[in-house]
Amino acid sequence: MTVDYTAMWQDLGLDLAAHEGLLTVLGAAYDEVYLSQQNRPEGMSYFDFCVSEIHGLRVKELMDAKAAGRKVVGSFCLYVPEEIILAANGIAVGLCSGADMGSAHSGRLLPKNTCAMIRSFVDFKLAKVCPYMEASDLVIGETTCDGKKKAYEIFGELHNTFVLEVPHTKSEAARVLWRSELDRLVARVEDLSGVAITAEGLAEGIRIANAKRAALQRLARLRAASPAPLSGRDALLINQIQFYDDPTRFTGSLNALCDELDERVQRGEGVAPAGTPRVLVSGCPMSAPNWKIPFLLERSGGVIVGEESCVGERGTRNLVPEVDGSRERLLDAIAERYLKIDCAVFTPNEERIDHVVAMARDLNADGVLHYVIQFCTPYATEAYRVDEALRAEGLPLLKLETDYSMEDTGALETRIQAFLEMLRAKRGE
């Protein structure tokens, strides 16, 4: 970054020394994980730029928007409908929750058996190092898992917070409850922004969010090609950046990259030689800058061809139908779209099992890596059903459970290498 943003960070109340430390670590990790890659598409330069300005230019844009009266709304979950935030001329951002801040702070507030993602967002808040969080006029939480549901009670003492009730099932009664939660959210966002949420506003929000998701779907489909035209690391990064970049600019840049990848696929050009074991990653979200598993897997000679994850196809699979209609009708369509998300917090959740199998087939994966953040009960328990389904399909599965620390990378890498070796041997059969 050539511009000095220190004054902006100071105005946001960041702990400048801790923030500087975070940026240094982040920069070094990015060099190692990303810039070391060979044969990257040129279109990735936009996303490299996004990362280089993640705490700079993009935050400046948010601050300028706030100065112009717009509101910034942060969240940690796919179940927060960005269409509603966009309809109030707001800016939706996914908040920092992908780095280990050492739990020096959250250890006082949260049990030690709390998952790394939840610990991370509470730590980011307490350590005052996330400009997106500090810029957020409101954080929208949800009741998805026990850990987040209860952590928001504590987080709510630290930041202006609104919690959406996401039901446990997709029954008719649960749909009615969820639909009523969107009314409650609309009222809160209107109150925050002073902007009336209209049918026109929602239609525009739907259009913007759909275009972004359609571009991400396009990217996902291109990765079915062999050789894979893009690394899994880069695809994950793009999926992470969608949560904080300007959505329309992001969509344009992603479509430009996809044009380039289209040409690559036609030329039969890829990021890894033919015969490289192709892996679908399934399970818990990898929030930025959580790149640990993809880096280890690709460094070990595999290539990731899809993410069955919140930061991946779980969030992009479904669009909202672009219907004309009243505000209520549009909110109905939004409510319905969101309840299609196959998060493991739902019971039953057969859709997800079907999706894992279908994605592995569609993307020509040789095997599946099931990723669980330690202490994430929903995904850890659902892994049993995933395992059963993949066995029935003859698809090898590697289950990994880890946190954000780097202490277990050696052990993880050994298991990943053995898995890739097995996939290569299976191919040779």
- Site for a copy of itself, rule CB under 8 A: 109-111, 113-114, 143, 145-147, 149-154, 163, 165-169, 171, 173-174, 176-177, 180-181, 344-345, 347-349, 372, 374-375, 377-378, 380-385, 401
If the CB atoms of residues 168 and 340 are measured against a copy of itself, the closer one turns out to be 168
Closest C-alpha to 41, from 274, 299, 243, 256: 256
**Contact status, residue 379 vs residue 284, Cβ threshold 8 Å:** yes
CA 180 – CA 108 distance, rounded (Å): 35
Smallest separation, CB 346 to a copy of itself (Å): 9
If the CB atoms of residues 318 and 349 are measured against a copy of itself, the closer one turns out to be 349
The angle, 0 to 180 degrees and rounded to 10, between the axes of the packed helices 146-155 and 116-127 is 10
Let me know how long the chain is. 429
If the CB atoms of residues 234 and 382 are measured against a copy of itself, the closer one turns out to be 382
**Contact status, residue 304 vs residue 279, Cβ threshold 8 Å:** yes
Task: Compute and round to an integer the Cα radius of gyration of the chain.
Answer: 21
If the CB atoms of residues 134 and 401 are measured against a copy of itself, the closer one turns out to be 401
If the CB atoms of residues 31 and 183 are measured against a copy of itself, the closer one turns out to be 183
Smallest separation, CB 28 to a copy of itself (Å): 32
If the CB atoms of residues 391 and 427 are measured against a copy of itself, the closer one turns out to be 391
Q: Tell me, what DSSP letter sits at residue 33?
A: I
Smallest separation, CB 311 to a copy of itself (Å): 20
Q: Which amino acid would we find at residue 217?
A: Q
Smallest separation, CB 313 to a copy of itself (Å): 21
Smallest separation, CB 76 to a copy of itself (Å): 15
Specify the DSSP element, H or E, that contains 345.
Answer: none
Smallest separation, CB 399 to a copy of itself (Å): 10
Smallest separation, CB 150 to a copy of itself (Å): 4
If the CB atoms of residues 152 and 243 are measured against a copy of itself, the closer one turns out to be 152
If the CB atoms of residues 107 and 252 are measured against a copy of itself, the closer one turns out to be 107
Q: How many Cβ atoms are within 10 Å of 352's Cβ, its own excluded? A: 23
Residues 6+ apart with CB under 8 A from 7: none
Smallest separation, CB 217 to a copy of itself (Å): 29
| Runs of H (alpha helix) within 98-224 | 116-127, 131-135, 146-155, 172-193, 199-222
CA 350 – CA 360 distance, rounded (Å): 16
If the CB atoms of residues 90 and 147 are measured against a copy of itself, the closer one turns out to be 147
**Contact status, residue 216 vs residue 254, Cβ threshold 8 Å:** yes
CA 313 – CA 319 distance, rounded (Å): 12
Smallest separation, CB 166 to a copy of itself (Å): 8
Q: Tell me, what DSSP letter sits at residue 95?
A: P
List the beta bridge partners of residue 308: 282
Its sign, for the CA torsion 102, 106, 112, 113, is: negative
